[in-house]
Amino acid sequence: MPDDRLYPLAVGFLGAGQMATALVGGWTKAGLLDAARSRAADPFTEARSRFEKTTGVATVNGNREVAAACDVLILAVKPQVLPVVLAELRPALHAGHLVISIAAGVTLQALADGLGSTVRLVRVMPNTPCLVGASATGYSPGVTATPNDVELVGKLFGAVGKAYRVSEPQLDAVTGLSGSGPAYVYAFIEALADGGVRCGLPRDVAQSLAAQTVLGAAKMVLETGQHPAALKDAVASPGGTTIAGLQVLERAAFRSAAIDAVEAATKRAQELGKKHS
C-alpha cells in the first residue's frame, strides 16, 4: 500500500542537536517537512535557540507538547537520557504516532518497553555526513510499524543520503561500518595528506587533493556499479606508481586492519545495545 500521507509533514524532534538540525534542512529542501508546523524540544536553552535560528522550526518547553503537535516523532537524544524522555512521552502517544529513533544502541524492544508495545516504531542508524546531505543510513522497523511507515522512513532518510532497510541485528554492523566509518575515512584522508606534505606539497593543497580523491573514488564506486577491485585494477598499470603504492599497503595489512576496525566497532555496538536494553 503506498504512503498516503500529505506532504510536507509536521515532524516533531525530541532533541535539537546537530543531527536533528541536519535532518530538518535536508527534509525541508526535499519538500518532505513543513518547518512552520514542525516542533522540537531540548533541555538546553542554547540548543533550542540555535535550532530555531537555523531551521525555522519552533521549539517548545516539553516533549509532550511536541507529541501534541506532530504525529511523526524523531528521538534524537543521547541513549543515557532516553529512559527519561520515553517516560515523559508515553502518556502523550496515541495510535496515530510514528516514533523514529536515531538513538545509538537502543533496541526496538527497549523502546517498546518504554513507550508501550502498541507504539509504531522504526529504529534508524544514520551517520554524521547527514550534516552535508550524504548520509549512509540503515533502518529497521518494529513489528507494529506499517508498510506506509517503512516507506516513509526510506523516503525521509533517502532524502539526506542513501538508506537501506536491514534486520535489527544487522544494525550493529551498520554502526560498525557506516556509523563509525567516517572516522576511518577521516584518518585515511589525514594520512594521505601527510604523505603529500612529506613529498613536498603545501598542507592545504595536500588535504584538498586527499579529500577530493576519496570523494571521487567513492562516486566512481556508486555511479559505475563496478566492484572496487575492478576500479583499483584500472588505476594500477603494470610496473607503475600505483601498484608500487598498493604493495606497501598490502605489506602493512591495510585491508585486514579496515576489516578488523569494522568488526571491533560492531562488537562494541552489540555491547552497548545490551547495556541499553
Residues 164, 212 within the same domain: no
- Is residue 68 one of the residues assigned to a domain? yes
Q: What CATH number should be reported for the domain holding residue 17?
A: 3.40.50.720
Angle at which helices 228-235 and 203-224 pack, to 10 degrees? 130
Residues 44, 165 within the same domain: yes
pLDDT of residue 7: 85
Q: What CATH number should be reported for the domain holding residue 252?
A: 1.10.3730.10
Asked whether the beta carbons of 145 and 165 are under 8 A apart, the reply is no
Residues 194, 165 within the same domain: no
- Is residue 2 one of the residues assigned to a domain? no
- Is residue 248 one of the residues assigned to a domain? yes
Mean pLDDT by 10 residues, the chain (277 residues): 74 96 94 96 94 96 94 94 95 96 93 96 95 95 97 96 97 96 98 98 98 98 98 97 98 98 94 80
Domain boundary residue, one of 171, 198, 228: 171
- Is residue 241 one of the residues assigned to a domain? yes
Residues 58, 194 within the same domain: no
Domain boundary residue, one of 171, 206, 223: 171
Residues 139, 17 within the same domain: yes
- Is residue 144 one of the residues assigned to a domain? yes
- Is residue 239 one of the residues assigned to a domain? yes
Residues 228, 166 within the same domain: no
Residues 114, 198 within the same domain: no
pLDDT of residue 76: 95
Asked whether the beta carbons of 22 and 160 are under 8 A apart, the reply is yes
Residue 193's DSSP bridge partners are none
> For the whole model, what pTM was predicted?
0.92
Residues 228, 95 within the same domain: no
pLDDT of residue 2: 55
- Is residue 197 one of the residues assigned to a domain? yes
The contacts of residue 148 (CB under 8 Å, 6+ apart) are 1, 2, 3, 4, 5
Domain that holds residue 88: 11-171
- Is residue 162 one of the residues assigned to a domain? yes
Residues 186, 106 within the same domain: no
pLDDT of residue 120: 98
Residues 183, 166 within the same domain: no
Q: Quote the cell numbers at residue 168.
A: 535489527
Residues 122, 223 within the same domain: no
Residue 36's alpha-carbon distances to 56, 81, 178, 185, 262, in angstroms, are 7, 27, 32, 37, 40
Domain boundary residue, one of 128, 152, 171: 171
- Number of domains the chain is built from: 2
Residues 53, 151 within the same domain: yes
Residue ranges in 165-237 assigned as alpha helix (H): 171-174, 181-198, 203-224, 228-235
Q: Give the C-alpha separation, 127 to 103, whole Å.
A: 11
